[in-house]
Amino acid sequence: MPSFGLRHRRAWASLFSQLLRPSGLVCIREVHFHSQDFDIAGQFDPMIPDAECLKIMCEILSGLQLGDFLIKISWNDVRHEMVARKGLAPEVADRIGDYVQCHGGVSLIEEMLQDSRLSQNKQALEGLGDLKLLFEYLTLFGIAEKISFDLSLARGLDYYTGVIYEAVLLQTPAQAEESLNVGSVAAGGRYDGLVGMFDPKGHKVPCVGLSIGVERIFAILEQRIKTSGQKIRTTETQVFVATPQKNFLHERLKLISELWDAGIKAELLYKNNPKLLTQLHYCEHMGIPLVVIIGEQELKEGVIKLRSVASREEVAIKRENLVAEIQKRLSES
């Protein structure tokens, strides 16, 4: 099976703009509660895919510019299986209870590994050993400072079998007053037994993955935009092609084709004879920055009027210079 390469991680780091769906190794799934999931399935050496999932999560949250964040990680078997199901001796359970109050990095893991009472439990040693290895990889990825080992972390789903993680935003008191309290914005972990539950032959397929809370992230961004008073722009259109004349659809179509061929994001109203005021009001409502206007006079003189929607200033530009002038203005804005 091929390795999980940089091409796929970079695609996910952009999250919404470029989602790749390679075959075999990686599965991207959209589920009913508005999240985007990324999973790696297959038999690999310990903690390598787990570390890469955490790297991907860091890249996504950094790319979205949501602010500072922290990813808490724990080990499902250490916290839940050992205490709730394995019937450990009371003194061992009490010792783990002490560590539940702590959080930190690899130093905390090493401290637990050296604890004589914990070192007597094979499952605890295996889990902590894997977590130490995970932190080595996270350090190589340059994200260890974004990760905190926190035994108080628990995921509500019972199919997790190993490392679990959850990302939360870190806020100043001022930001906390302005923002919604949405809890975690991303989470995930290892679930080695889940796929086998749906296989008639019970084949075990180790898996690890992460889920990005799209709905929660949108709620945060909308709240921040509302607080700042910014206007939400719902289109990427840069230029609108307009006319004050009737029967000028053909000229508008030729002009917009020139803009599209130059890589300029342009649009027009899908009407034969729209009123100029209607077209200008549309641009103001949608936040389109520039309007190009073509009419009988402009066609006769070989020029196009270029209008700034914000200032309402208009200048006549020779048609052969129009694309260059638009690109110049867009680069300066």
What tokens were used for 141?
């990825």
Q: Which residues is 37 bridged to in the sheet?
A: 29, 211
AA identity, residue 68: D
Query: Of 32, 56, 53, which Cα lies nearest the Cα of 41?
Result: 53
pLDDT grade, residue 75 (50/70/90)? confident
What tokens were used for 169?
């935003």
Is 165 annotated to bind ligand?
A: no
pLDDT in tens, 170-225: 875 555 555 556 678 999 999 888 888 888 887 889 999 999 988 888 888 888 77
Phi first, then psi: what are they for 189, rounded to 5°? 160, -170
Is pLDDT of 29 > 60?
no
Is pLDDT of 306 > 50?
yes
Segment 39-67 shows an average pLDDT of 92
Place of tokens 């890589």: 263
Decide if 28 contacts 36 (C-beta within 8 A): yes
Segment 129-150 shows an average pLDDT of 92
Is 160 annotated to bind ligand?
A: yes
Q: What is the pLDDT of residue 139?
A: 95
Of 32-46, 86-100, 110-124, the range with the lowest mean pLDDT is 86-100
Is 252 annotated to bind ligand?
A: no
Place of tokens 């295996």: 126
Q: What is the pLDDT of residue 168?
A: 92
AA identity, residue 264: I
More confident residue, 34 or 138: 138
Place of tokens 């030729």: 254
CA separation for the pair 29, 155 (Å, rounded): 20
Q: Where are the beta strands (DSSP E) in 84-124?
A: 103-104
Segment 15-19 shows an average pLDDT of 37
Q: What is the pLDDT of residue 8?
A: 46
DSSP string, 119-152: TT-HHHHHHHHHHHHHHHHHHHTT-GGGEEEETT
